[in-house]
Amino acid sequence: MAKFKMLTYLQDTWLILGITLFLLVLLEIICSIAFLVRDHVTVSDSRILDAQSQREEDRDTPWRNEYAKEMEENSLRWEPYIYWRRKPYEGKYININSDGIRLTTPSQTSPDQAGRSLRVFMFGGSTMWGTGARDACTIPSFLAKALQGRGKRIEIINFGETGYVSTQEVMLLLLQLRKGNVPDMVIFYDGVNDTYSAYQNGIAGIPQNEVNRVKEFNLLKPERLQDLQKTSAKGTLNNLSTIRFVKGLLLKLNLRKELKSIPERNKLDNAEHLAEQVVHTYLGNMEIVKALAASYRFKFLFYWQPTIFEKNELSDYEKGVYGGQDEQDMQDFYKKTYRIMRRTESLLDDNTFHDISTIFLDVRESVYIDWFHTSEHGNNRIAQAMAEDLVPLLESYRDAVKQDTAPDVDFATLPLHR
């Protein structure tokens, strides 16, 4: 009798476990289908491109579905010193070469009688790279068109990359110079990523998501095998559609907010000092570029970029992406950092730094597709502002004799760099 009861108990237990497992698998399948449908809708009608249709002349944007698909397809690869660059990609609206550089159109104007064009390197994050814009409508492409329209023979190379902070950009410039790839002009377009990285990490001057690099360091060593197993298991669980659904539900119910708010409050206790360090770090990178320019004899310009927080007149679309009370700490930190940079600009004694963060201050139409990425129309406005600064510099540079402005050594001819 006891054996019969035990057998019945085991059968019932296995039946309950089997039903539970079946229901969990069924729930996972349902959630996966739901996320698949949602992601398809997101790609087909990507909000990151909605701002393009807010202007009367841009209401018909048949390209955006295909563009969103191309954005999903191109990915990143590991790159020494600078962490990541884009993989080569060929699309209708996004094209990236083997060096991870996005196409600028027109890529190069015809050379002058001396057989050369002036070369401009442009550095920045995803705003410079051109998130939300087609190849022909990035800031570098619009600048190339503006300068070509003024009769300038110029080649612009877009070194912008998603997530880059200014230190990564300086490292990338240094690597190019080391190869003998010396420009005539260098332009940096920064502010957003340097500020966000400091907010995210609680320290200024390091790349975004640096905590991930710390976790990954030596992860493959035998003594770290248990950590690797935990990381793998955690990643697998977090990727389950059921877990993603539960997290999203908790977030909507505001049950996860308290878990996030405590470290964020601690991190921002020194917000004023941290904001000052963001500016100090950027000024330090400016000095490094100035030293390199003196040695390699190129000209340079720095631009502090705009954000939606520096806009008085928000369109209905922009009001929707501005962010709610949950993100107030980050908004305040951006505003604080930008105020400090604005005060600092008045102390600089040259014309190489330009704070254009208020370029859209009183513009009523939509120019932002999120907090900081600008629409193609916004990119054009920024490029035109840069062109006004660049033309006189290029004209003065053009008057110089190339032999007097080139480095004394052609590093590209040395065996070490071949």
Question: Percentage of residues in the chain with pLDDT exceeding 70?
Answer: 69
Q: What domain range is 259 assigned to?
A: 77-401
> What pLDDT is attached to residue 30?
78
Taking Cα atoms as reference points, which of 194, 203, 165 lies closest to residue 84? Answer: 165
Q: How many Å apart are CA 219 and CA 286, to the nearest integer?
A: 35
Cβ pair 154, 387 in contact under 8 A:
no
299 φ/ψ angles, rounded to the nearest 5 degrees:
-95, 165
49 falls within a domain: no
140 falls within a domain: yes
3-state SS assignment for residue 69: helix
- pLDDT bin (cut points 50, 70, 90) of residue 325 is low
3-state SS assignment for residue 78: strand
Cβ pair 139, 127 in contact under 8 A:
yes
- 379-387: average pLDDT: 97
364 falls within a domain: yes
Q: How many Å apart are CA 74 and CA 102, to the nearest integer?
A: 11
Cβ pair 150, 387 in contact under 8 A:
yes
The more confidently predicted of residues 380 and 328 is: 380
413 falls within a domain: no
Cβ pair 174, 82 in contact under 8 A:
no
117 falls within a domain: yes
Residue 154: enclosing H or E segment and its boundaries? Answer: strand 154-158
The more confidently predicted of residues 278 and 321 is: 278
Cα 114 to its chain centre, rounded Å, is: 37
Q: What is the largest CA-CA distance in the chain?
A: 105
Integer angstrom CA distances of residue 116 from 154, 182, 302, 389, 395? 9, 13, 25, 22, 15
The more confidently predicted of residues 319 and 113 is: 319
Cβ pair 110, 153 in contact under 8 A:
yes
- 97-118: average pLDDT: 76
The more confidently predicted of residues 383 and 107 is: 383
38 falls within a domain: no
CA atoms within 13 A on the CB side of 36: 7
Q: How many Å apart are CA 189 and CA 121, to the nearest integer?
A: 11
Cβ pair 119, 176 in contact under 8 A:
no
Per the structure, the count of domains in the chain is 1
25 falls within a domain: no
Residue 56, pLDDT > 50, answer: no
Strands (E), 25-145: 76-79, 83-86, 89-90, 95-96, 118-124
Token pair, residue 295, equals 């040695």
Residue 211, pLDDT > 60, answer: yes
Taking Cα atoms as reference points, which of 308, 373, 303 lies closest to residue 127? Answer: 373
47 falls within a domain: no
Chain segment 130-170, per-residue pLDDT in tens = 999 999 999 999 999 999 988 888 999 999 999 999 999 99
Residue for token digits 């308290």? 258
The more confidently predicted of residues 238 and 406 is: 238
Chain segment 226-272, per-residue pLDDT in tens = 665 565 555 566 666 666 666 666 555 554 444 343 344 445 568 99
- Number of residues written out for the chain: 418
Q: Which range among 214-228, 254-268, 387-401 shows the weakest confidence by mean pLDDT?
A: 254-268
Chain segment 31-50, per-residue pLDDT in tens = 667 655 555 444 334 444 44
CATH of the domain at 149: 3.40.50.1110
